Structure 1
Amino acid sequence: MRTQVAIIGAGPSGLLLSQLLHKAGVDCIVFERRSPDYVLSRIRAGVLEQGMVGMLEQAGVSERMHREGLPHDGFAISVGDTRLRIDLKGLTGSRVMVYGQTEVTKDLMDAHTARGAQVIYEAENVTPLDFDTDHPRITYEKDGVTHEVACDFICGCDGYHGVSRAAVPDGAITEFEKVYPFGWLGILSYVKPVDHELIYANHPNGFALASMRSETLSRYYIQVPAGTDVNKWSDDAIWAELKVRLGAEAAAKMETGPSIEKSIAPLRSFVAEPLRFGRLFLAGDAGHIVPPTGAKGLNLAASDIHYLSSGLIEYYGEKSAAGIDAYSQHALARIWKAERFSWWMTSLLHQFPELGAFNARMQQADMDYLASSEAAQRSLAENYVGLPF
């Protein structure tokens, strides 16, 4: 078997890349070690930048998003019982779209099914080979049989723990990492959102976030120490803590109910450099991780796909390697800006007891500056809605 581009990973970045390449007439095959149901069971973020909204439109998979998604013109930062609204639309002219990553993935899956795209699910032991030559290939096992696919390029969209980055020879990658001493305990429940926009809260007990997936499905988070056992937190205990951290106004309006999912996500910042190794490219979580505080993870993967798809389409359409040669440089420049913003948001909104009273005063000074400076709010808003590709 042969294809032009082999894509490892059928999450939103891999499927989006496949869809964009297909629309440009570039042949590709997607390999995924999990089943479709497992891929769709992953609970992930749901705030889309305008750049990603545009990419989904370009890919022809935006109809349901525009019908069911929730456009947001702003969000709030709560400190105690004081709430500061960041007017995204007024400050930047742009907005964000609240639409769950699971829904994005489902829309992409449906588009692939409709066009009969080649997505090989439950492909075991996927291995990228010979990507340092002009003849890369992929091997994988399916139903006990080993298969080989020759290709021109391999795109690793298989996440932080995937095989793509692990296949790169030792010493070829420089890794930058910061691990935070806490995680986010998340609860998903069929209750009405407490507000029509997201609320980020800084409280002495720790960070909290009130978000939503729809008008009837809410997603909440609270900061907990690293290593916390999710089973030690009952639904009632989580709701009670949310009411404390989000402030009196939110507590008075909050609907509570049984959780349909609870989990703890660790927080880390991670970047691998470079993102190209011969004819192997890394994209999305395979090359970088951001804390979820700034809502950049999925959006940053989309910007990678913008640069990568554009480069590959240029390669096949115009016989120019300029785009793929510049992929790593262009993607990393935007990645580091998003890493900075996510680190800053995390530093502003979380409790760091080990850093003492000085850090608490710095957080307060940051909040006071935000509240009093339109320029500071515009900078925050510009980063939140997404820097241009």
Structure 2
Amino acid sequence: MAEDEHGGELRTANSSDRSVSAGSALLPADGFENPGMAEHHERVTDKDPKKAKNAERVVVLLFWISLAFTLFAVVAYFIWPIDRADITTVRANNFFLGIGIAFGMLTLGIGAVAWAKYLMKDTEMVEARHETRGTPATRQRVAEIFAQADEESGFSRRKLLRNSLIGAVLALPLPGIVMLRDMYNANNEKPVKLLHETKWAEGVRLVRDPSGTPIRASDVTIGSAFHVIPETLIEMKENHEPGFLDAKAKAVVLLMRLPEDRLKEREDRKDWSYHGIVAYSKVCTHVGCPVALYEQQTHHLLCPCHQSQFDVTEHCKVIFGPAGRPLPQLPIAVNEEGYLVAQSDFHEPVGPTFWERRHDYNV
């Protein structure tokens, strides 16, 4: 028996007092009824060291399998690359990459659960707690608890199991790290310059995506919206030219017609529209998601990724959400045949605003 600071007696638990560790440890002197905790039953791995060793081998095997699947995901990224000229290659790349990552995480999780279930100590304890104070004694006790947890889990003692877990956990981020290599290539142009030039140019007709049908001004009615690409992209697609998808991703446009009295156009941009017909980049200025949800009544465009909203009546200015600037406007006109054409390329880079942190192309 030992007295606590209030004068009460505490009972302490030890390994030989099974009834105490099963639910009556550290009880006040006057005691209390057992709340219903069952007597502790030892597991087979507690009774038989051979069974415990076998369980440890299984957990180690699971961790090694997790490591193998993670490395497989890295290798699969190179064995089944994505060919930008053949979109069907995405299927094989995603399938094998996903298999590696998924089973790497699954076997790691199963191994961790099995370790806790069959090898870590599972005795139940109840203790009387007083107000926690940050005294030296408290800190010392915390250190003792951590040391006890380390001993009970076997983290330091079971070196093979511990090292296999560390290896599997450290390898798990590798597929993501490897895939980050595609975000930078020393041979690529600077992002601002790259996103400042698209397939739009003076006289290029606006055509529907994906049919490639040219659009007359009379086809665009008030409240309608067309997904549009430059006609030059259709030729790239038909000729299977490399870089088609990259070019399309930068040039996609949403074409709309509003009542002319609803447009609040700047003086320097009044000739960028045609009788209420306006064209804006579909690439959100937040992180580049496709802005394709058009609200006919409010004339707002909505980005479904992070809910940025743009007001089409005022040059697609940002009215809600994290987008940093308005959507770039494509200047349009009508040719002698009545088809809508571009006056020029965009006058600013399309895509995320962060590319424009500096304008000397040295981002």
Q: TM-score, normalised by structure 2?
A: 0.19
Which is richer in strand?
1
Q: Which has the larger radius of gyration?
A: 2
Q: TM-score, normalised by structure 1?
A: 0.19
Higher relative contact order (Cα pairs below 8 Å, separated by 6+ residues) = 1
